[in-house]
Chain A
Amino acid sequence: MSVQAVLAPRAETPAPRSFVRRYLPYLLIAPSAIMLLSLIAYPLLFALRSSFYFWNLQIAPQPLAFVGFQNYIQALNAFDFRDALVNTLVLSVSGTAIEFVLGLASALLLLRALPGMNVVRALLILPTTIAPIVVGFLFRYLYDPSGGLVIWLLRVFGLPVPPQGLLGSPHTALAAVLFADVWQWTPFFAIVLYASLLSVPDEIIEAARLDRASPLTILIRIKLPLIRRTAIIIAMLRFMQLFNMFDVVLVLTRGGPGTSTRTLGYSLYEQGLINFNIGLVSAMTWITVLIVNIIVAIYIFFAFGNEEW
């Protein structure tokens, strides 16, 4: 029997069924892929193209000249870039860490069968439903040096308050912005981690207790490893959100005093929607994308290693 003779009958086996089996997943995923490409890839590519042009809507409605990497050089050499990058990293890293730790502590408390926990769980969701711009206005009042609640509490506990207020001092303004974000987003961590902790089998915990494992050991050796994937992913999402923070900054400090609370997100807003320098803001966007992706890639590498996630 020749090879052709062997293969020929196979070619005549139900080909349409095989074709469908092979390509149906692609067909099913195609609408989503097309949607993603058109809504996400197109603006990104548009921004990439714009980043190589001199295009300032205050000067002319259309791009005036191809300038190569000039916008990137201008963005990196901007007087506020380094401060904005440092502030953004401080906010993103410390904000994610603080919110995670406080959120985990809250989630562990929620697991306890204490009276009123149902109400607490319902109330916890409230801050996350408020628009950041509203949170900004709320904290403007809370930080009011002449009678804001936070200022009053600090004074009651004998803690020093700068004469120009928390938002007016370069030494405290960034922490004040961070506190507003922590207030709003810690419940998000608490709720997600609480849901994850509920999925930890009781049998394992009981077994550990029978083995006389301490609560701390149970948390570190059993609970955290079992909710690890969820924890890593929500921490990554919050990190990326914090990296783009501008709305709370806009309302609370407009990046000041000086550059003490200026973030990359605020600089993007300023260049894009106040100065309308489309070429420059496109370059800044791509610089931001690259920085975030590098950080996230490193984070994922160390968090998951070669594990599938």
Chain B
Amino acid sequence: MSIDTLGLSRRSVLKGVSGTALALSSFGPLVGPSRALAQGAKVVRVLSVEDPFFFSMKAMIPDFEKETGLKVELESLSYDALQARLVSAFVAKSSDADVIAVDQMWLGQYLDNGWIIPLNDYIAKDKDIDFGDFIPEVLYSSNMWRGQIATLPMAAYAQGVMYRKDIFDQFKIAAPPTQTTEAWTWDAYLNMLKSFAGKEFGGAPLFPTVVCGSQPSPIVHMFTQISASLGANWFKAFPKAPWNFEPQLTGPAWIQSVNLYRELYKLSPPEAINYVWFDAGTRFAKGDVAMFYWWTPYFYLVKNSGYMTGKKSDVMGKFGVGAMPKAAGVDQTISLGGWSLGVPSSSDKQDAGYAFIKWATSKATQKKMALWPDLNYQFSDFGRASLYKDEEIKAIYPYLDVQYDMMKQGNGKVTRPPVPGYTALESVLGLTLNQLLTGAGDPKAALETVNGLFTSILKGNLMIPYQKESFDDSLGAAKALISKLSKS
């Protein structure tokens, strides 16, 4: 008997198998692993991203285990892998971890979907968390959604300027100010950079600055500092109620922002078109860049010759930090970001999870992380105001005053609105910005195209017209909630 009697030839079987195998390989990554692990009651599972804070936090964990008697199972993943792993676990309703690292952009999605629990009750009952010590702008930007505290800040990032003191001295150019002033504008920043164009330093060509050009996230992270500073809004009404997500990317502030970013790229190494976050920082650390702006962790990361290598870079001891430039006549807005810790609703050890979060975000632990000497002292991303005034810490991280000043002007909900479906918008914007850097396209026409694509995506995601209940999300309301929870 031949298998052909069933109407199946080896050819047709192979064809079918090849097709299905291809489809499986395409769709396979979506099928997340079920990780419903049976755990003992004395274990806290922590799933983190491997950002700089991770290394010093990991070093402190024996302290937590000693204090509480709980054993910590710490696991780290890359940004994309962490999000994929978490969402797979949430959809499968499996208990993947008791504490998770949450990016501010995921907050609304996780809380609206009921994947993480609000911490309001825990905080209200906690007498020694010193909740009022957290910087309100940080909590508002990274941890609050619809009036709920969903996470606590583990590592808070603002943006600031880094410049080479020795290069500025050689060319007799005044250093950028350490505080926001009306005179320190983007025009002043650009003119200062232009004064380095075509110069050499130490016998090698000098690049005035460096930008991130890689799409989608890196370029959007850097670009939106400019757009927010210039007063550009993503939507007609957000975060203030009533929410209206009609995109507003055709406004003059967006066009100015694109033109400015293009100018900065022209003053950067050409290969910056492909630079992701740490590429820009590493390039500055190599020593042939005069000045750039970036997330505040780079205030310490550039001390290393590579990302988290611990080897001293060529610019160590030779660079200073300054305030972000602003737009003339527009109130300054600094981009805030960072990582926070939350408790998944699927965890059956939520109390233990909260205990870990409270410990990891406490003043004592964060100070120990800052004083941890390995990797050349690599943690100053505090979400607590008091740590910026700690003299022992300031002796190691002398730029903390500037960093805190940037934090206090921060608003993460304006710079990169953490609305559901944000990543699809970021993909479109990032790709377009990347194209605008390399090509000669007209920014106005390109932004009109982006605006149309945004509208299409937002309508497809049922965000236009917005049918759910809005929430009047303001810093003032956030401060009131913080005050209420601090007193209770």
Chain A residues with CB under 8 Å of chain B are 21-22, 25, 36, 39-41, 43-44, 47, 54, 56-61, 64, 74, 79-80, 145-146, 162-165, 167-170, 236-237, 240, 243-244, 253-259, 265, 268-270, 272-278, 281-282, 285-286, 288-289, 292-293, 296-297, 300, 304, 308-309
Q: Are A270 and B434 in contact (CB under 8 A)?
A: no
Query: Which of A25, A163, A269, A289 is B29 in contact with, Cβ under 8 Å?
Result: A269
Of A60, A257, A304, most B-chain CB atoms within 10 Å: A257
Q: Are B25 and A244 in contact (CB under 8 A)?
A: yes
Return the chain A residue nearest B279 by Cβ: A140
Q: With A61-B113, A168-B271, A257-B273 in contact, do A244 and B22 touch (Cβ < 8 Å)? A: yes
Q: Are B431 and A259 in contact (CB under 8 A)?
A: yes
Query: Which of A36, A163, A273, A288 is B22 in contact with, Cβ under 8 Å?
Result: A288
B437 CB contacts on chain A under 8 angstroms: 257
B26 CB contacts on chain A under 8 angstroms: 244, 265, 268, 285, 288-289
In whole angstroms, how far apart are the Cα atoms of A288 and B22 in the complex? 9
B23 within 8 A of A: yes
Q: Are B17 and A170 in contact (CB under 8 A)?
A: no
Taking the closest CB of chain B, its distance from the CB of A4, in whole angstroms, is 28
B215 CB contacts on chain A under 8 angstroms: 254-256
A255 CB contacts on chain B under 8 angstroms: 215, 431
Interface residues of B in 190-249 (CB under 8 A from A): 213-216
Q: With A58-B423, A277-B424 in contact, do A297 and B15 touch (Cβ < 8 Å)? A: yes
Of B113, B435, B460, most A-chain CB atoms within 10 Å: B460
Taking the closest CB of chain B, its distance from the CB of A303, in whole angstroms, is 11
Query: Which of A57, A273, A300, A308 is B15 in contact with, Cβ under 8 Å?
Result: A300
In whole angstroms, how far apart are the Cα atoms of A40 and B22 in the complex? 10
Q: Are A44 and B23 in contact (CB under 8 A)?
A: yes
Return the chain B residue nearest A240 by Cβ: B22
B317 within 8 A of A: no
6 A-B contacts (beta carbon < 8 Å): A56-B421, A167-B274, A169-B438, A170-B438, A297-B15, A304-B11
Query: Which of B19, B90, B272 is A61 in contact with, Cβ under 8 Å?
Result: B90
Contact with A along B259-301 (1 / 0, CB 8 A): 0000000000111111010000000000000000000000000
Chain B residues with CB under 8 Å of chain A are 1, 3, 9-11, 14-15, 17-31, 80, 83-84, 87, 90-91, 109, 113-115, 213-216, 269-274, 276, 420-424, 427-428, 431, 434-435, 437-439, 449, 453, 460-462
In whole angstroms, how far apart are the Cα atoms of A59 and B466 in the complex? 12
Taking the closest CB of chain A, its distance from the CB of B217, in whole angstroms, is 9
Taking the closest CB of chain B, its distance from the CB of A154, in whole angstroms, is 14
A288 CB contacts on chain B under 8 angstroms: 22-23, 26
Taking the closest CB of chain A, its distance from the CB of B305, in whole angstroms, is 14
Return the chain A residue nearest B437 by Cβ: A257
In whole angstroms, how far apart are the Cα atoms of A21 and B1 in the complex? 9
Query: Which of A25, A43, A258 is B31 in contact with, Cβ under 8 Å?
Result: A43
Q: Are A258 and B113 in contact (CB under 8 A)?
A: no
Q: With A256-B214, A256-B273, A308-B9 in contact, do A274 and B431 touch (Cβ < 8 Å)? A: no
Taking the closest CB of chain B, its distance from the CB of A143, in whole angstroms, is 9
Taking the closest CB of chain A, its distance from the CB of B261, in whole angstroms, is 15
In whole angstroms, how far apart are the Cα atoms of A23 and B471 in the complex? 66
Q: With A258-B435, A270-B427, A277-B424 in contact, do A57 and B113 touch (Cβ < 8 Å)? A: yes
Query: Which of A57, A300, A304 is B87 in contact with, Cβ under 8 Å?
Result: A57
In whole angstroms, how far apart are the Cα atoms of A56 and B31 in the complex? 15
Taking the closest CB of chain B, its distance from the CB of A181, in whole angstroms, is 16
Q: Are A36 and B29 in contact (CB under 8 A)?
A: no
What 7 A-B pairs have minimum CB-CB distances, sorted nearest first? A164-B270, A258-B435, A163-B270, A165-B271, A168-B273, A40-B20, A289-B23
Query: Which of B1, B23, B214, B272 is A22 in contact with, Cβ under 8 Å?
Result: B1
A304 CB contacts on chain B under 8 angstroms: 11
Given contacts A58-B461, A285-B23, A308-B10, 4 further A-B contacts (CB under 8 A): A255-B431, A268-B26, A278-B30, A285-B26
